Amino acid sequence: MGGGQPLRLLLIEDSEDDELLLLSELRSCGYEPSLTRVESLEEIERALNEGPWDAIISDYVLPGFNGLAALPLVKERGLDLPFLIVSGAVGEDTAVEAMKSGVHDFLFKDRLARLGPALARELREAEVRAERRRMQERLLLSDRLAALGLLAAGVAHEINNPLSSLMMNLDFTLNSARERSLQEDDVQALRNASECAQHIQEIIRDIKVFARPEAQPLGPTDLHRVLDSALRMAWNQVFPRAQLIKDYGEASTVHGSEARLAQIFLNLVINAAQALPEGSSHEHAIHVVTRRSLPDTVRVEIRDTGPGIPAELHERIFEPFFTTKPLGEGTGLGLFICRRLVTEMGGRIGVESQPGQGTRFWVHLRAAATPSPAQSASA
Ligand SMILES: Nc1ncnc2c1ncn2[C@@H]1O[C@H](COP(=O)(O)OP(=O)(O)OP(=O)(O)O)[C@@H](O)[C@H]1O
Ligand SMILES: [Mg+2]
């Protein structure tokens, strides 16, 4: 016993002898089944509700019903499990009819040698189907996120015009406060209103930075300004979990675009924040460091004091749809997109991390000298 592949098997079968036969066949094929045998529709329903199961094997002829009757019970619960029928002698038409109704395979009790391979194949295919469903769900989610981004950018754009007009009117009234002999507290109230309006304008600018990265041309971009935008956008996620420590080197212009860079940094900072438990801001820190490293390279580092990432995952986290977050929270596209965007800008991205030692993501970007008129003319 032991050492075999565990298999949670629901067996619909009224004969104990056949159960033993099946068990011994499965063991000889390398499975270690934990088997539950049921023989009435009520028992089947109860077992399905309790689950979970890896596979279902059913006899065909059972007292009062046939094996096919169990199939709808499985389907109506949204379960997609290998469902095999292992039957005594029945006509070929019966087998054909069973396959048509959605049974994955039909085997005969006197030819059980086919069971092991058939089960292995169906387990594999069920796994492939499950993986495809997970991908589709995540794709839908990422579509929704992209649509939401577009919507936000549109709303930001719409707010801009009335906001400009509001600010102009506030300025106008403030500038003529003396002629109108306004009271000091009226003036103060107007100043407050004006500051709030400026704040709204900054928020809108930040939202617009993220709109439609693919439409922005690559060119010299102010690194620290983009980083600040991304950090403001991430603030709600960061402040309940960590101290934010900015350590910027000399002012840098890099080859990129605001929207692409902002998207990269936002994902890295949110990943760092999400790796930390909420309410732990006094214990944890997120460092954002920038340094000119080589004459033509700027290094950005986003470091956290979270649980870290085991070495065997350092490449996989950059794969599309790899995520350890529950559905609805992560699509697993963040780092995949980061790497694509960084590469497009002629840069590189990587991770250094060990479990228990925190995580350090670094991004190397090409430094861009602001093109002088002479340079752009000769280019
Ligand atoms: N700072 C970090 N600390 C620990 N694990 C991390 C960190 N950053 C990324 N990871 C791991 O890498 C996985 C992939 O990250 P990625 O940004 O690609 O997707 P996600 O954050 O899960 O989802 P999405 O970014 O699409 O919302 C995460 O699920 C997490 O397991
Ligand atoms: Mg992410």
pLDDT tens per residue, the chain (379 residues)?
Answer: 457 899 999 999 999 999 999 999 999 999 999 999 999 999 999 999 998 999 999 999 998 898 999 999 999 998 999 999 999 888 888 888 888 989 999 999 989 999 999 999 999 999 999 988 888 887 887 777 777 777 888 888 899 999 999 999 999 999 999 898 999 999 999 999 999 999 999 888 888 777 666 677 899 999 999 999 999 989 999 999 999 999 999 989 999 999 899 999 999 999 999 999 999 999 999 999 999 988 899 999 999 999 999 999 999 999 988 999 987 778 888 999 899 999 999 999 999 999 999 999 999 999 997 544 444 433 3
The whole-number pLDDT of residue 2 equals 56
Tell me how far the alpha carbon of residue 223 lies from the centroid of ligand 2, in angstroms: 21
Q: 226 and 367 share a domain?
A: yes
Say which CATH number the domain at 127 has: 3.40.50.2300
Residue 332 in contact with ligand 1 by CB distance below 6 A: yes
Nearest CA to ligand 1 atom 28: 323
In ligand 1, the atom with minimum distance to the C-alpha of 361 is 1
User: Checking DSSP bridges between strand 253-256 and strand 285-292, what pairing results, if any?
Assistant: unpaired
For a mutational test of ligand 1's pocket, the pick from 144, 335, 361, i.e. the residue with the most ligand atoms closer than 8 A to its C-beta, is 335
> Is 188 inside a domain boundary?
no
In ligand 1, the atom with minimum distance to the C-alpha of 358 is 3
Residue 272 in contact with ligand 1 by CB distance below 6 A: yes
> Is 181 inside a domain boundary?
no
Residue 309 in contact with ligand 1 by CB distance below 6 A: yes
The whole-number pLDDT of residue 75 equals 92
> Is 332 inside a domain boundary?
yes
DSSP state of 331: -
Tell me how far the alpha carbon of residue 71 lies from the centroid of ligand 2, in angstroms: 40
Tell me how far the alpha carbon of residue 334 lies from the centroid of ligand 2, in angstroms: 4
Question: What is the count of structural domains for the chain?
Answer: 2
> Is 98 inside a domain boundary?
yes
Q: 232 and 339 share a domain?
A: yes
Residue from 285, 259, 289, 272 nearest 364 by CA: 289
> Is 196 inside a domain boundary?
no
The whole-number pLDDT of residue 373 equals 44
Q: 224 and 369 share a domain?
A: yes
Residue 213 in contact with ligand 1 by CB distance below 6 A: no
Question: Is the Cβ–Cβ distance between 99 and 87 less than 8 Å?
Answer: no
The whole-number pLDDT of residue 212 equals 67
CB count within 10 Å of CB 370 equals 9
Nearest CA to ligand 1 atom 2: 272
Question: What is the domain range of residue 302?
Answer: 216-374
Residues 6+ apart with CB under 8 A from 189: none
Q: 228 and 337 share a domain?
A: yes
CB count within 10 Å of CB 195 equals 11
> Is 249 inside a domain boundary?
yes
* Amino acid letter, residue 216: Q
Residue 335 in contact with ligand 1 by CB distance below 6 A: yes
Domain edge (last residue) among 131, 146, 163: 131
Domain edge (last residue) among 82, 105, 131: 131
Say which CATH number the domain at 327 has: 3.30.565.10
> Is 270 inside a domain boundary?
yes
Question: Which ligand is the nearest neighbour of the Cα of 270?
Answer: 2
Domain edge (last residue) among 97, 131, 165: 131
Q: 234 and 124 share a domain?
A: no
The whole-number pLDDT of residue 343 equals 93
Residue 54 in contact with ligand 1 by CB distance below 6 A: no
The whole-number pLDDT of residue 203 equals 84
Q: How far is CA 2 from the centre of its chain?
A: 36
Q: 231 and 354 share a domain?
A: yes
> Is 207 inside a domain boundary?
no
Cα distances (Å, whole numbers) of residue 369 to 51, 116, 142: 63, 66, 36
Question: Which ligand is the nearest neighbour of the Cα of 354?
Answer: 1
Looking at the DSSP bridge assignments, the partners of residue 57 are: 11, 84
Q: 110 and 222 share a domain?
A: no
Helices (H), the chain: 16-28, 41-50, 70-75, 92-100, 115-175, 184-209, 223-238, 258-274, 334-344, 373-378
Q: 237 and 361 share a domain?
A: yes
Residue 317 in contact with ligand 1 by CB distance below 6 A: yes
Q: 120 and 240 share a domain?
A: no
The whole-number pLDDT of residue 48 equals 96
